């Protein structure tokens, strides 16, 4: 069988299975109801007024059943169930099937169902009523039909009959939906089981309560409308609460829970379509982060920030198609699920529409605010087949966009450092950093310190704090690998918090021992996106009595260029605090003169890749000299890292470099070894 034949064969086979099942249910219902319905010609005229009142109410109540939004129509609340189950208990299967059929005809006409569907629904109800009748017959329950006082056994029998009714009815619906639409059996079953078991169970168990009063007075039957209305309201309120639980209270968009359910449903549908040979087996998840939102909150207040989020959500809804789902995940993060795609170009086109929609300034409180964001895209099934994987990969793409100073990036595996091995390492790192989880099994996080030497005087003017992690099974983890593992997740902030805490505490210990040094700490782009790091450093310095000028933060050019405005806001607050700011790896990125002029920098560090080669490579020597001249013109101190021999040290002195660090002086070492090294150190100057 060729591919084209297979594409036609699978859906056709499923359709045959569906209609075969429908036919089997109808045939079984005919067999079950044939004899009881045939006897109606004899028994119908003798039925009491109570029956006719119940029948009329069953039909009238089903004229407008309640269908909860977002559910399949089989989840509608049909009040006729209560009356027909009561009729079954009091007068048998035939009258119950007749009334239920009449109610189905009315509701199907009202809901515009096809004829075959109405017949199928009647058949389902018939089988359910037949199952309930069989249970009551097998258990010898006759009290409700005879009007005598029911015993506990009778009540138990009726309860079991109601369970049998529900199992048959819900089971036939589930099988039919699965055969018709495909997908996972368990997903299809659980889609409405909680809601229907409560609403239908309440209707069924009201029926025996209705039979008792009906045997005494017909006038009591309409009073059943009150508890039926209560069931109706309960169902509506339950559905509304569930809907509210899936909405973001500020914007009215879907929330994370709703997005998760939608992604799961779309994955199931697309897998079914792929199995059927359909071509549209892609959908995309777009993750959007609003740039500089923190600045709006800080400068104009949270009320204006909320207005901005509402305005952004409105623009997103207008930019997408009606089939797309827009969700707010919290803070300034939004997600868009677009279910109808053929390739990544469609997702990019949608992202471009979103960028265009956000490009127009938003007027809030008379101020025009520029809105921009970074968008990461993950495709199903190429980049993941579940919510967690797609979200993680869209997040990787979004941060890749920030690092590249781009607007839209589609996920690429080569940009994702989170291989299974690294994810395992990330979990170990999280446990090592969490004081509640830290154990010997997580390894040991420690700080090493490398001296920084004033070239002209040989004086030790500071140290660079370097993170080290001794893993229990892998040994010492490479620092670059450690940062790659952490920087694309929230663990990076935990890591920075730990480093700042340890370094400030160590500065206080050295100070108490009579050693005053400045320590430089590296921070990532994630640390600079909020002012949280400013508050943390302010609190730690105050707690340990350390002067702000003893701490220096090093940021890379990549972090600076990923989001210059947000980074500028954070480091400006740090500079006001008195903490020095250094630009690390200078010369390897794309810093503009405008940013260098505006940043409150005190120091630049020449990247080791240039320093290592300056003694043998004229180009590297020229680059280092140019960087030093530029920094001098801007009034910045220059630190050269990677100084490993005397020749390089002398060349750096000759071109005017201020500070050097590297193995020529000392390797990184633990804090206690540094104190011992300081005791042995003899300054090296150009004259000796």
Separation of alpha carbons 356 and 594, rounded Å: 27
Residue 675, burial from CB neighbour count under 10 angstroms (0-12, 13-18, 19+): middle
Which residue from 230, 229, 171 is spatially nearest to 196, judged by alpha carbons?
171
What does the pLDDT read at residue 544?
93
Residue that is written with structure tokens 């075969």 in the block = 20
Question: For strand 669-670 and strand 444-454, is the pairing parallel, antiparallel, or unpaired?
Answer: antiparallel
Q: Are 207 and 275 in a shared domain?
A: no
Q: Which domain holds residue 450?
A: 446-679
- Give the alpha-carbon dihedral of 584, 587, 589, 590, to 10 degrees: 120
* Strand positions, DSSP E, 215-320: 282-290
- The Cα-based distances of 594 to 404, 561, 590, 591, 633 in angstroms read 18, 12, 11, 8, 14
- Burial (CB count <10 Å: 0-12, 13-18, 19+), residue 323: exposed
Same-domain status, 93 and 181: yes
Nearest-angstrom CA–CA distance, 376 and 329: 14
* 311 located within any domain: yes
Whether 236 and 260 map to the same domain: the answer is no
Q: Is residue 633 part of a domain?
A: yes
pLDDT of the residue at 7: 35
Count CB neighbours of 256 within 10 A: 17
What element of type H or E holds 380?
Answer: strand 373-380
In a domain, 44, yes or no: yes
Helix, strand, coil in percent for the chain, rounding step 5: 60, 15, 25
Q: Could you tell me if 555 and 605 lie in one domain?
A: yes
Domain boundary among the residues 214, 245, 276 is at 245
pLDDT of residue 18: 79
| 21 lies in some domain | yes
Q: What is the DSSP string of 188-221?
A: HHHTTHHHHHHHHHHHHHHHHHHHHHHHH-GGGG
Last residue of a domain, one of 245, 279, 302: 245
Q: Same domain, yes or no, for 91 and 229?
A: yes
- Token readout for 237 is 């309120």
Is there a domain that residue 116 lies in?
yes
Contact of 646 with 668, CB cutoff 8 Å: no
pTM of the predicted model as reported, rounded to 2 decimal places:
0.47
Task: Tell whether 466 and 550 lie within a shared domain.
Answer: yes
Report the run of H or E that residue 575 belongs to, with start and end: helix 564-577
Judge contact between 607 and 585, C-beta under 8 A.
yes
Is the dihedral angle over the CA atoms 607, 611, 617, 623 positive or is it negative?
A: positive
Indicate whether 687 belongs to any domain.
no
The answer on 166 and 264 residing in a single domain is no
Do the Cβ atoms of 560 and 567 come closer than 8 Å? yes
- CA of 9: how far to CAs of 14, 185, 418, 521, 536, in Å? 9, 21, 41, 64, 64
**238 & 281 share domain:** no
Rounded-to-integer distance, Cα 470 and Cα 466, Å:
13
Q: Which two tokens stand for residue 122?
A: 């009647």
Find the CATH number of the domain harbouring 399.
Answer: 3.30.70.270
Are the beta carbons of 455 and 651 closer than 8 angstroms? Answer: no
Whether 441 is in a domain gets the answer no
Answer yes or no: do 266 and 321 share one domain: yes
Q: How many domains, in total, are found in the chain?
A: 3
Q: What is the pLDDT of residue 9?
A: 38
Select from 220, 245, 270 the last residue of a domain.
245
Backbone angles phi, psi at 602, to 5 degrees: -120, -15
Backbone torsions φ then ψ of 117, nearest 5 degrees: -70, -40
Q: What's the pLDDT at 74?
A: 46
What is the domain-level CATH number for residue 56?
1.10.1760.20
Residues of the chain with confidence (pLDDT) below 50: 1-11, 69-74, 438, 440-441, 590
CATH of the domain at 629: 3.20.20.450
Cα separation of 86 and 53, whole Å? 12
- Asked if the structure places residue 465 within a domain, the reply is yes
Which phi and psi angles does 447 have, rounded to 5°? -115, 135
Q: Token match 């996106």: residue? A: 529
pLDDT at 98: 93
Q: Alpha-carbon distance 52 to 44, whole Å?
A: 10
Under 8 Å between Cβ of 582 and 520: yes
End-to-end CA distance of the chain: 87
296 and 160 both lie in a single domain: no
- Kindly state whether residues 663 and 530 are assigned to the same domain: yes
Check residue 361 and report its DSSP letter: P
The answer on 458 and 346 residing in a single domain is no
What CA–CA distance (Å, rounded) separates 193 from 209?
24
**DSSP single-letter state for residue 149:** P
């Amino acid at each position: 069988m060729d591919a084209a034949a297979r594409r036609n064969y699978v859906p056709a086979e499923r359709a045959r299975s569906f209609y075969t099942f429908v036919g089997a249910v109808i045939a079984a219902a005919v067999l079950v109801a044939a004899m009881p319905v045939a006897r109606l010609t004899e028994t119908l005229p003798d039925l009491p007024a109570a029956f006719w009142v119940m029948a009329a109410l069953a039909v009238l109540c089903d004229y407008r059943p309640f269908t909860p939004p977002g559910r399949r129509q089989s989840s509608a609340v049909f009040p006729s169930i209560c009356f027909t189950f009561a009729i079954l208990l009091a007068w048998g299967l035939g009258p119950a099937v007749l009334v239920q059929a009449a109610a189905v005809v009315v509701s199907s006409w009202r809901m515009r169902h096809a004829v075959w569907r109405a017949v199928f629904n009647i058949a389902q109800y018939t089988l359910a009523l037949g199952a309930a009748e069989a249970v009551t017959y097998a258990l010898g329950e006759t009290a409700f039909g005879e009007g005598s006082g029911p015993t506990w056994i009778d009540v138990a029998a009726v309860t079991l009959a109601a369970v049998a009714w529900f199992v048959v009815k819900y089971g036939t619906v589930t099988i039919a939906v699965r055969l018709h639409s495909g997908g996972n059996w368990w997903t299809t079953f659980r889609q409405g089981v909680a809601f229907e078991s409560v609403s239908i169970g309440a209707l069924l168990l009201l029926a025996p309560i209705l039979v008792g009063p009906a045997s005494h007075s017909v006038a009591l039957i309409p009073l059943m409308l009150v508890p039926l209305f209560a069931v109706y309201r309960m169902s509506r309120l339950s559905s509304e609460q569930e809907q509210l639980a899936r909405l973001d209270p500020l914007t009215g968009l879907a929330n994370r829970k709703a997005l998760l359910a939608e992604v799961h449903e779309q994955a199931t549908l697309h897998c079914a379509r792929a199995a059927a040979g359909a071509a549209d087996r892609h959908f995309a998840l777009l993750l959007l982060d609003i740039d500089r939102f923190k600045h709006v909150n800080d400068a104009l207040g949270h009320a204006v920030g909320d207005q901005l989020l509402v305005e952004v959500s409105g623009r997103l809804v207008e930019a997408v198609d009606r089939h797309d789902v827009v969700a707010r995940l919290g803070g300034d993060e939004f997600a868009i699920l677009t279910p109808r795609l053929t390739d990544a170009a469609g997702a990019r086109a949608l992202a471009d529409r979103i960028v265009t929609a956000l490009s127009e300034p938003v007027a809030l409180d008379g101020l025009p605010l520029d809105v921009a964001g970074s968008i990461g895209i993950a495709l199903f099934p190429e980049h993941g087949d579940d919510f967690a994987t797609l979200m993680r990969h869209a997040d990787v793409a979004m941060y890749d966009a920030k690092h590249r100073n781009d607007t839209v990036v589609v996920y690429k595996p080569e940009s994702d450092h989170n291989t299974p091995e690294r994810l395992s390492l990330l979990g170990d790192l999280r446990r090592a950093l969490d004081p509640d989880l830290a154990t010997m099994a997580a390894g040991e996080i420690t700080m090493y310190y490398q001296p920084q030497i004033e070239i002209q005087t040989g004086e030790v003017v500071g140290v660079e704090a370097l993170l080290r992690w001794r893993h229990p099974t892998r040994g010492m983890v490479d620092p670059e690998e450690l940062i790659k593992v952490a920087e694309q997740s929230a663990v990076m902030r935990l890591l920075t918090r730990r480093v700042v805490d340890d370094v400030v505490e160590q500065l206080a210990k050295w100070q108490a021992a009579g050693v005053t040094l400045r320590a430089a700490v590296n921070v990532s782009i994630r640390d600079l996106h909020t002012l949280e790091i400013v508050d943390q450093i302010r609190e730690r310095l105050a707690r340990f009595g350390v002067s702000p000028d003893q701490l220096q933060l090093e940021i890379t050019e990549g972090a600076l260029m990923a989001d210059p405005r947000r980074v500028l806001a954070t480091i400006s607050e740090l500079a006001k605090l008195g903490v020095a700011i250094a630009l690390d790896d200078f010369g390897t990125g794309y810093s503009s003169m405008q940013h260098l002029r505006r940043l409150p920098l005190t120091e630049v560090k020449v990247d080791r890749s240039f320093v290592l080669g300056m003694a043998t490579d004229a180009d590297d020597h020229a680059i280092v000299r140019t960087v030093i001249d530029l920094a001098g013109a801007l009034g910045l101190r220059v630190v050269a890292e990677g100084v490993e021999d005397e020749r390089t040290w002398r060349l750096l002195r000759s071109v005017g470099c201020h500070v050097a660090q590297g193995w020529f002086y000392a390797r990184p070492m633990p804090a206690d070894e540094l104190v011992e090294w300081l005791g042995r150190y003899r300054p090296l100057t150009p004259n000796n």
